[in-house]
Amino acid sequence: MRHGRLTTALVAMGVGALVSVPLAVTPAAATTEALPFDFNGDGQPELAVGVPGEDIGSRNAAGAVHVFPGTASGPSVVGDQFWSQSRPGVRGAAERSDRFGSVLASGDFDADGFADLAIGVPGESIGGRSEAGAVQVLYGTAAGLRAAGDQLWHQGTAGVPGANESGDRFGWSLAVGDFEGDGYADLAIGVPREGIGDIAWAGRVVVLRGSATGLTATGASSWSQATPGIDDEPEPFEGNFGLALAAGDVTADGRDDLAIGAHSECVSPAVGSGAVHLVPGSADGLTATGSQFVTGLDVGISTVCDEGGAGSVLAMGDVDADGHADLALGNRFGGGVALLPGASTGLVPADATLWDLDVRALAAGDVTADGIADLVVGATGSGGGAVVQVLAGSPAGLVATDVELSRPAGPGLPDAAASGFGDSLAVLARAGSRATWLAVGAPTDSPAGRLEAGTVTALPSTAVGPDPAAAVVLHQGTAGVKGAPERFDALGRVAGYGGP
């Protein structure tokens, strides 16, 4: 195992344009599978932002999602869509502590050329079972997301493996990948507190397949440490299998593989390390044949047993441009970030590189506009504040940069250090361009003096990384944005991980 060294010089973020309101772009005809988050098929991704603490009427923390239209100049407040389970036509009902919008993921589940949006609702109560959890799916059209034809998935839905039980939190994590290589995106759903037999909080992952009619339970699969061919075994309160998920084509066979974090895994009664399972894709979907089990200790990450370990945050991307997706895994409770290279045989732990970073979130994508994926890290900076750092991809693998970004200053925005900037990350690709947008959620930010109301920042990519001078900062106090900033709204969930 090799150790990387991170340069910590600060690149200060300017205020930049806090709101972008460019002209609308006419959607193009849908002819190919859409890029994630491009809900209207115009080649520009929308910015979807969860507000899981949003009160809907008198229902505290029912949750909501903003969708800001994408344009060549970035996200626009013009046409801001505000989704919740109280919106006409949306299945379910807004209820106290549902936390709709805790988790977001996007893919083209019906391959119609318009991306679709999966929304985690891990606090959803089903049939009196509190926090059983659910996932809402909204489908894209030439006019953007629609309520018509939406789906509400949970373990009481016909064909979905498992059963609704209190505290399971189905939908805590999400990942999208084409695990069969059939052109339809599939959805992996984490249920990290699922009991397996009489073993509490062992964890499960459910995978729904894409089809011409959207996601379907036909052929749905279920994965846990009790699944034949998956290493290790369920243990009480230890595995949290499915706490984090990431998808990508590690073996370069044209089918995505699924990384599943089991962050509470202990390798001895005293030593915690966490672990990650890699489940390969195949013509028939995910398969246990050739699956891998990598512990944090295998890559140099360890903690005490009750503090969790590696696998609490995951990201996949081809950071060395060899055609194989590589896996970044980290521990939100300390121990650094490890990068495991991909190969035709799977992950190569022996060649892992360990980076000494205090990680809170990870995302992979090209934020340096050179055609190679980079690794973006939500971290704690040298001064103790919330920052985002970039490790640049290259043919030799990840390279340290001097990029350390903090949330821009602006009217009504408090000290950035306590903002939670980087608690959630997503890289939004644009059609026909190497240019991307980096979305940075700050759900504990306190705009307008509202404690933890939350903000989100979008930054365009440049050759030296995300451009702070062109930052777009949005929150519910921004002109044109629906809603009002309120205590503990937690606006800023932009990716597929649902909790602290």
| Average pLDDT score, the chain | 90
Lowest mean pLDDT among 285-299, 306-320, 446-460: 306-320
Whether the model clears a pTM of 0.95, i.e. scores above it, the answer is: no
Nearest-CA neighbor of 103 among 55, 136, 81? 136
Lowest mean pLDDT among 8-22, 144-158, 302-316, 403-417: 8-22
Joined tokens for residue 262: 């089991």
CA distance 181 to 285: 8
Element (H, E) at 460: strand 455-460
Lowest mean pLDDT among 286-290, 377-381, 397-401, 489-493: 377-381
Q: Is the pLDDT of residue 381 over 90?
A: no
- pLDDT for residue 30: 40
Burial letters 191-213, b for 16+ CB under 10 A, else e: bbbbbbeebebbbbbbbbbbbee
Joined tokens for residue 350: 């022996």
Nearest-CA neighbor of 478 among 447, 499, 451? 447
Q: What is the mean pLDDT of residues 214-238?
A: 92
Q: What is the mean pLDDT of residues 131-149?
A: 98
Q: Is the pLDDT of residue 59 over 80?
A: yes
Nearest-CA neighbor of 489 among 19, 45, 18, 66? 66
- pLDDT for residue 90: 97
Q: 3: which strand partners?
A: 354
Q: Is the pLDDT of residue 28 over 70?
A: no
Q: What is the mean pLDDT of residues 41-51?
A: 97
Q: What is the mean pLDDT of residues 342-357?
A: 96
Count of other CB atoms within 10 angstroms of residue 143: 10
Nearest-CA neighbor of 1 among 294, 232, 271? 294
Element (H, E) at 377: strand 374-380
Lowest mean pLDDT among 129-133, 285-289, 357-361, 371-375: 357-361
CA distance 197 to 215: 28
- pLDDT for residue 305: 74
Q: pLDDT band at 239, cuts 50/70/90?
A: low
CA distance 198 to 295: 24
Q: Is the pLDDT of residue 21 over 50?
A: no
Q: How far is CA 137 from the centre of its chain?
A: 15
Q: Is the pLDDT of residue 490 over 60?
A: yes
What's the longest Cα–Cα distance across the chain?
60
Q: Is the pLDDT of residue 497 over 90?
A: no
Q: How far is CA 102 from the centre of its chain?
A: 10
Helix, strand or coil, per DSSP, at residue 339: strand
**Span 155-190, pLDDT tens digits:** 999 999 999 999 999 999 999 999 999 999 999 999
Whole-angstrom distance between the N-terminal and C-terminal Cα of the chain? 29
CA distance 175 to 248: 10
If you count DSSP H runs as helices and E runs as strands, how many of each does the chain have, helices first?
0, 34
* Contact yes or no for 409/375 (Cβ under 8 A): no
User: Edge-to-edge, what's the strand order for the sheet holding 313-317?
Assistant: 2-4, 353-355, 337-340, 326-330, 313-317
* Contact yes or no for 130/52 (Cβ under 8 A): no
Q: Which residues contact 37 (CB under 8 A, 6 or more apart)?
A: 45, 46, 47, 48, 70, 106, 115, 117, 426, 428
- State percent of the chain over pLDDT 70: 91
- pLDDT for residue 333: 75
Q: Is the pLDDT of residue 4 over 90?
A: no
- pLDDT for residue 69: 98
- Rg of the chain's alpha carbons, rounded to an integer? 20
Q: pLDDT band at 238, cuts 50/70/90?
A: low
